[in-house]
Amino acid sequence: MSLLEDIILVNKSVVKKSIKSFTKNWMIIFSGLVYLFLNIVIILIVNTLFRGVLSIIAGLIMAIASSSLISNYLYLLFNVINYDRITIENFKEGFKYFLWKVYGIFFIAWIGRYILSTLLQMVGSNGSGLNLIISIAVLIFLNPLPETVYLKYYSPFESIKYSIDFMKENWVNWLLPNIVFHLILYLITNNLLLNVFTTHIGFNFDFSIKGIAFYILGQAVFSFIMIYRGYLFKLLSTSTRRKRMYMNKLYD
């Protein structure tokens, strides 16, 4: 089976599952509004309570809070991909389910940024170019990191390593639909999602009918993309092209 045939076979299977799950779990669209509201509340509380000397720990509190919100969203996706349903109980449990795994990844990223900043200072004028190259590499090789977190039982460091290994093996099958979907999302929302752990589309507080309609549309497209990514990752991470070719012939 050629690469093109494999791409068509994979995406044909994934799109059917994604449409079915998105139709059944459409309420996930509005999770973005919940996260937006919670983010505002958390920022107001942290800025109010942690002033002066206490502002030192404000960063830590915000990191844990952000990890908790990301954990919640990933747990919703976990239930959509594995059980094709989400409930209020899933939402309640989600804030802590992947909390420390996500926070562990953030901590590793913080160490990485610290080391990188030191290297960039040593490089001098070439630092901006090197920083751009590293940022693009991180965005590509760690792109399936959210799916690795909620579909694989690895530690934070192992999750990062697996994400890189996954991209080495599946970069064409993974990047092609992601690029297409994100271009569509950009045309609708004018936003490029450069954060690996994005949980929702930003709302610009345009309360006009058009503004609200485009926000809901953008959030719907984003939600579909994340469900699609989940099914795509699950298929690619549990099979090879040879296995998919065999299974396709078996059911022909």
DSSP per-residue codes, 201-228: -------SHHHHHHHHHHHHHHHHHHHH
- pTM exceeding 0.75: yes
pLDDT at 178 over 50: yes
> Are the C-beta atoms of residues 235 and 15 closer than 8 Å to each other?
no
Q: By three-state DSSP, how is residue 182 classified?
A: helix
HSE, CB side, 13 Å, CA atoms: give it for residue 233: 27
pLDDT tens digits, 187-208: 988 888 889 999 998 887 777 8
Q: State how far the Cα of 231 lies from the Cα of 80, in Å rounded to an integer.
A: 10
Listed residue (159, 147, 153, 155) closest to 70, CA to CA: 147
Cβ contacts of 161-170, under 8 Å, gap ≥ 24: 166/233, 166/236, 166/237, 167/140, 167/141, 167/143, 169/236, 170/236, 170/237
Highest mean pLDDT among 62-76, 208-222, 232-246: 62-76
**pLDDT single digits (tens) 68-125:** 999 999 999 999 999 999 999 999 999 999 999 999 999 999 999 999 888 888 877 7
Task: Give pLDDT, residue 109.
Answer: 95
